[in-house]
Structure 1
Amino acid sequence: MTTGTTTIRSVQWKGDHILLLDQQKLPHKTEFIKLTTIEDVWESIHSLKVRGAPAIGITAAFGLALWAKSFKGKENFLGFYYELEEKRSYLESSRPTAVNLAWALARLLKRFSGAATVEEGQSLLIEEARAIATEDERVCRSIGEHAAGLFSHGDAVLTHCNAGGIATARYGTALAPFYISKEKGVELKVYATETRPVLQGARLTVWELMQAGIDVTLITDNMAAHTIAEKNISAIIVGADRIAANGDTANKIGTRGLAILARAFNIPFYVASPLSTIDLAIETGNEIPIEERNSEEVTHLNGVEVAAKGVKVYNPAFDVTPNEYITAIITEKGILSGNYKEALAELK
């Protein structure tokens, strides 16, 4: 592995397996694992070995292609199709909130519709999965180019969770402008929240940015308001797991609170997202399913119990930021603001 974060490919297609960066082991151990079955893929998505909406979508697409390649029965096209639909639903069940998962699998099924034989279907599914990964890298680069223009040399910017290169094919979404700015000689100061309870900010975002030589400072989640006030934070930028037709945005739990703080401090709150994360099938954020995860993520830290034994736990993985708190949504096709319902519909 090279040291520049933008050269890391967290999800790689290797023909007979998927090579996946195990994000659960970061930052102390950089380990790539081999996924050889669709069950391996499901478990890796569900257990957060891979996370970040685009990376989840890419992994799921490769997972379906991997299953298709192993299918036995070249003459049983109808059976292949029915089982393909079952495996698609199976992978979709691994995590319900990130829309890229369903979007990527739907793309594969649409591409498969042009097949007349099992062998042709297998080839088309692999081609489409690889195309999704290639497109995502280009999309993230474009998001970074658009977003970088919003910041000036020396700006201090706050980010939450991890929307970086390891959450996508390359570059990331919310972190992309930091990499692009670095390439152009524009130095930005980044403040990253730890992102409880799984610490994606502390384990992943900080690791990524330090690898790239970007000035980054880690804070705990409850330091955000004080940091904005004391460190002259000029903007907040986050990624997204699903954006409704009206611009309401689901992202890692804690995002909504940061949007409210941005309003209180009169600084911009940006969402960086590929168009694939926009779900025009749902009108508002009220329709976005919010995943609730295991209580031990809250009660334990590195396997050690830190809460009172037997306490009840509420552990939503995401929250929804209403569109009125979002200054702009940055996509690969440009920066949107104002009437998100009209702007998003025009771009999709």
Structure 2
Amino acid sequence: MEEIKQVTHIDNVKLSDDKKSVVIIDQTQLPNRMVYLTLNQLEDCYEAILKLRVRGAPAIGIFAGYAMYVLSQQYADKPYDAFAAEFHRQKEYLNSSRPTAVNLSWALNRMEKVVAGNASSGVGEIVELLGRECVKIHEEDIAMCRKISEYGLSLLHEGDGILTHCNAGPLATSRYGTAIGPMLLGKEQGMNFHVFSDETRPLLQGARLTSFELQKAGVDVTLICDNMASIVMKNGWVNACFVGCDRIAANGDFANKIGTSGVAILAKHYGIPFYTLGPTSTIDMNCPTGDDIKIELRDPEEIKEKFYVEPMALKEVKCYNPAFDVTDHTLVTGIITEKGICYPPFTESLKKLFD
């Protein structure tokens, strides 16, 4: 019988030993190089989010919490009003780096509440409270990922084929991850699955990150191009689709990496259950529908030049490069959170999570 081993977890975001910097794995260097970055300047933290050195909605939230704590130490000698003003300025600047992922604004607002809620305390004490809060954000995410993975695993069976898009594993979150967490947890418990990982054009998170994580964990994974999902489903090799999410609207529409909505449409056509997995911090009850989600547009050169030795299109050719698309709630079988699995109608089931 195969020996069951716990999946190795790598801290992709953490505080430095002296708590003066945030240490991240530079995800742009994977899978060929494991490079760690030590960050303690506002511009560097902004650039790390913008350039996807740290990515994945929950991981961005964890990083933002640590970053604000690290940065706040640098102006802790200011009186409260000046400290709070500078904290707000830096928070808003970081928040502008990637507008679609709700976890970024959620974590930043949570950190600012510590500042606003302790105005009568000394600034030194506030900084200490910020340190505790950012650690709490990380610890809560670890616990949430475990619960999400357990709920997701309850829907799977031995030998299932699962298709996933983009990357929602430990690198994008903490510990098990969200969308591929059930596969990693199942592997620990002796279950075997076959995972089809979309490459996820144009930034190839599925190729560089998801297949990397699953292969290292000993999960049977096959990398496919995005336009191969249909034939894999038609062949009967997929029993369920598990994807992550960057923002979930109150009606169950959700934003995820570009191409996700196409996977959902294909799954609907072939009668395959389609689930999105994410923490409740990803749910934005102030966002009525997917039409209200702001979609980030990225540099067109990512399509023509990134990962190529030479450009793959003429310089004059225009490109449209949205980072995300929105999957309509009518295509979603269920939304898996740390508080349970929500089923349609999502306007009711999502609301109950917060009641």
TM-score relative to the length of structure 2 = 0.95
How far residue 183 of structure 1 moved from its aligned partner, in angstroms, is 1.1
Q: Is the 8 A contact 2:243 2:276 kept in 1?
A: yes
Please name the residue that 1:63 is paired with: 67
Task: Determine the C-alpha separation between the residues in 1 that align with 2:204 and 2:7.
Answer: 19
Q: Is the 8 A contact 1:5 1:165 kept in 2?
A: no
For residue 35 of structure 1, the aligned residue among 23, 32, 39 is 39
Read off the aligned partner of 2:256 and give its amino acid letter. Answer: N
Cα offsets for 1:274-300 (capped at 9, x unmatched): 000000011000000000000111011
Is 1:172 equivalent to 2:174 in the alignment?
A: no
Task: Determine the C-alpha separation between the residues in 1 that align with 2:333 and 2:224.
Answer: 23
Range 248-257 or range 116-125, more displaced: 116-125
Read off the aligned partner of 1:329 and give its amino acid letter. Answer: I
How far residue 310 of structure 1 moved from its aligned partner, in angstroms, is 1.2
How far residue 301 of structure 1 moved from its aligned partner, in angstroms, is 3.3
Please name the residue that 1:13 is paired with: 15
Task: Determine the C-alpha separation between the residues in 2 that align with 1:229 and 1:78.
Answer: 61
For residue 326 of structure 2, the aligned residue among 300, 310, 320 is 320
Cα offsets for 1:87-106 (capped at 9, x unmatched): 11011011000000000011
Q: Is the 8 A contact 1:163 1:239 kept in 2?
A: yes
**What is the SS of the residue equivalent to 1:190?**
strand
Task: Determine the C-alpha separation between the residues in 2 that align with 1:6 and 1:201.
Answer: 19
Is 1:112 equivalent to 2:115 in the alignment?
A: yes
Please name the residue that 1:148 is paired with: 153
Read off the aligned partner of 2:73 and give its amino acid letter. Answer: K
Task: Determine the C-alpha separation between the residues in 2 that align with 1:124 and 1:240.
Answer: 30
Q: Is the 8 A contact 2:297 2:322 kept in 1?
A: yes
For residue 344 of structure 2, the aligned residue among 334, 338, 343 is 338
How far residue 6 of structure 1 moved from its aligned partner, in angstroms, is 4.3
**What is the SS of the residue equivalent to 2:239?**
strand
Please name the residue that 1:306 is paired with: 312
Unaligned segments of structure 2, at least 5 residues: none
How far residue 73 of structure 1 moved from its aligned partner, in angstroms, is 2.3
How far residue 112 of structure 1 moved from its aligned partner, in angstroms, is 2.2
Q: Give aligned-pair identity as a percent.
A: 47
Please name the residue that 2:137 is paired with: 132
How far residue 170 of structure 1 moved from its aligned partner, in angstroms, is 1.5
Read off the aligned partner of 2:100 and give its amino acid letter. Answer: T
Please name the residue that 1:297 is paired with: 302
Please name the residue that 1:53 is paired with: 57
Range 6-15 or range 209-218, more displaced: 6-15
Q: Is the 8 A contact 1:4 1:211 kept in 2?
A: no
Q: Is the 8 A contact 1:235 1:269 kept in 2?
A: yes
How far residue 111 of structure 1 moved from its aligned partner, in angstroms, is 2.1
Please name the residue that 1:263 is paired with: 268
Q: Is the 8 A contact 2:76 2:124 kept in 1?
A: no
Read off the aligned partner of 1:67 and give its amino acid letter. Answer: L
Is 1:205 equivalent to 2:235 in the alignment?
A: no
Please name the residue that 1:235 is paired with: 240
**What is the SS of the residue equivalent to 2:233?**
helix
Question: Aligned-pair RMSD on alpha carbons?
Answer: 1.2
Read off the aligned partner of 2:338 and give its amino acid letter. Answer: E
What is the number of equivalent residue pairs in this alignment?
A: 345
Q: Is the 8 A contact 1:18 1:62 kept in 2?
A: yes
Unaligned segments of structure 1, at least 5 residues: none
